[in-house]
């Protein structure tokens, strides 16, 4: 057996490492017991990602501006941008506004709903969540309004949903962490299936992560944003000339190297400000800025507000909307 003090090898799957950075916050689950005819009009929730699984019966989904799509039992649908949509028992069923419907609060993170006209039953499990890492924003920017997955193995989907239901119905220490991790599994599996097949996943930032040279440069920035990176040092780290690397990076990522570096650092800094009381001069150093003044100027250019104001705003944590579920 090798020594337990040996360094654990880093992740060599560049796209996998980017997925590892995704971090769910504030997950709310709802299990809906529905009987036909039924229909729910869900408003736009653009700060959130929405996951829905039809666990019994069927449903019809219409995302704003799109066609109606039948969702048979076992369908898993992800709405990465929280798009407005309608879910109903049949294409011609009437709908009611979501927030007009009654729910039963089981715990802070789990609700149930019973609704409909008493006919054919359906069951939908719904989750509303936030992803707050910079990587999530990059990923969401490339994702379509809706992802439909119908070929998922029923066993693992239903086992995961059963665990969610059990954990949410009888809260125990660490329960919220368990719920969040289970949502991670469902969402990451949905994203992985999309990455395997979608043409959008072969362009932009996602294509850059797959590139032999640019992907390694992105990995270096992601792992050590505080380092004094330059175009030249990143090019050398991946074995390319400065000019060839710069052109290739801009072509794939869609922005110059140093612009990406600044955006990544400042996005991480904004997230850190909401989680830490660390003084601004220390935050500046943590994310690669030589002085607090330089950091504050760059932060205000990027976000239109000062770091202190951003910290205060982040402390007013965006709540998961109650009853934002089916």
Q: How many domains does the chain have?
A: 2
The pLDDT value recorded for residue 296 is 96
The answer to whether residue 251 is domain-embedded is: yes
pLDDT exceeds cutoff 90 at 167? no
The pLDDT value recorded for residue 26 is 61
Q: Are 188 and 214 within one domain?
A: no
| Segments forming the whole domain that contains residue 154 | 18-198
Q: Are 227 and 272 within one domain?
A: yes
Nearest to 139 by CA among 198, 212, 186: 198
C-alpha span between 288 and 266 (Å, rounded) = 10
The answer to whether residue 7 is domain-embedded is: no
The domain that contains 292 carries what CATH number?
A: 1.10.10.60
Instruction: Give phi and psi for 216, each to the nearest 5.
Output: -70, -35
**DSSP notation for 40-66:** EEEPP-TTSEEEEEEEESEEEEEETTS
The pLDDT value recorded for residue 250 is 96
Three-point CA angle 222, 288, 215, nearest 5°: 20
Strands of the 24-35 sheet, one edge to the other: 104-107, 110-116, 24-35, 121-131, 49-56, 76-79, 147-149
The pLDDT value recorded for residue 164 is 72
For helices 242-253 and 214-223, angle between their N-to-C axes, nearest 10 degrees:
80
C-alpha span between 21 and 29 (Å, rounded) = 22
The pLDDT value recorded for residue 292 is 96
- Could you give the count of Cα atoms lying within 13 Å of 175 in the half-sphere of its Cβ? 17
Q: Are 290 and 185 within one domain?
A: no
For helices 134-142 and 257-275, angle between their N-to-C axes, nearest 10 degrees:
120
Interval 68-101: pLDDT, tens? 999 998 788 999 999 999 999 999 999 999 999 9
Q: Are 261 and 287 within one domain?
A: yes
Interval 261-310: pLDDT, tens? 999 999 999 999 988 899 999 999 999 999 999 999 999 999 999 999 99
pLDDT-derived band at 170 (thresholds 50, 70, 90) equals low
User: Mean pLDDT across the chain, nearest whole number?
Assistant: 85
Region 138-160: mean pLDDT is 76
Q: Are 185 and 233 within one domain?
A: no
Examine the fold and report which residue of 142, 170, 198 is the final residue of a domain before the chain moves on: 198
Is 157 or 30 the better-scoring residue by pLDDT?
Answer: 30
C-alpha span between 92 and 278 (Å, rounded) = 55
pLDDT exceeds cutoff 70 at 169? no
Q: Are 95 and 174 within one domain?
A: yes
Q: Are 167 and 235 within one domain?
A: no
Nearest to 146 by CA among 228, 214, 202, 62: 62
Are the C-beta atoms of 276 and 283 separated by less than 8 Å? yes
pLDDT exceeds cutoff 70 at 47? yes
Examine the fold and report which residue of 198, 226, 244 is the final residue of a domain before the chain moves on: 198
Kind of pairing between the strands at 85-88 and 24-35: unpaired
pLDDT-derived band at 203 (thresholds 50, 70, 90) equals confident
The pLDDT value recorded for residue 320 is 53
């Amino acid at each position: 057996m090798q020594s337990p003090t040996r360094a654990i090898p880093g992740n060599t799957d560049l796209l996998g490492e980017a997925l590892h950075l995704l971090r769910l916050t504030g997950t709310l689950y709802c299990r809906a017991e529905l009987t036909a005819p039924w229909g729910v009009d869900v408003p736009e929730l653009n700060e959130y990602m929405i996951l829905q699984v039809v666990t019994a019966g069927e449903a019809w989904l219409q995302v704003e501006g799109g066609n109606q799509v039948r969702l048979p039992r076992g369908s898993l649908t992800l709405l990465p941008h929280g798009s407005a949509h309608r879910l109903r028992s049949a294409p011609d069923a009437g709908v009611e506004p979501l927030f007009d419907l009654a729910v039963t609060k089981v715990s802070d993170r789990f609700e149930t709903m019973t609704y409909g006209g008493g006919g054919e039953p359906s069951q939908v499990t719904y989750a509303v969540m936030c992803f707050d890492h910079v990587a999530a924003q990059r990923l969401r920017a490339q994702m379509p309004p809706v992802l439909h997955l119908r070929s998922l193995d029923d066993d693992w989907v239903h086992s995961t949903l059963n665990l969610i239901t059990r954990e949410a119905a009888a809260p125990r220490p660490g329960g919220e962490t368990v719920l969040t991790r289970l949502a991670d599994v469902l969402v990451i599996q949905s994203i992985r299936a999309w990455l395997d097949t979608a043409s959008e996943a072969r362009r932009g930032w996602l294509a850059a992560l797959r590139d032999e040279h640019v992907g390694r440069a992105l990995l270096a920035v992601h792992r050590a944003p505080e380092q004094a990176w330059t175009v030249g040092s990143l090019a050398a780290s991946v074995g390319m000339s400065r000019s060839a690397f710069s052109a290739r990076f801009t072509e794939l990522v869609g922005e110059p190297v140093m612009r990406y570096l600044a955006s990544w650092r400042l996005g991480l800094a904004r997230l850190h400000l909401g989680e830490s009381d660390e003084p601004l001069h220390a935050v500046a150093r943590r994310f690669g800025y030589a002085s607090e003044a330089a950091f504050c100027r760059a932060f205000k250019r990027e976000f239109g507000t000062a770091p202190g104001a951003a910290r205060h705003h982040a402390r007013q944590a965006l709540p998961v909307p109650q009853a934002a579920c089916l």
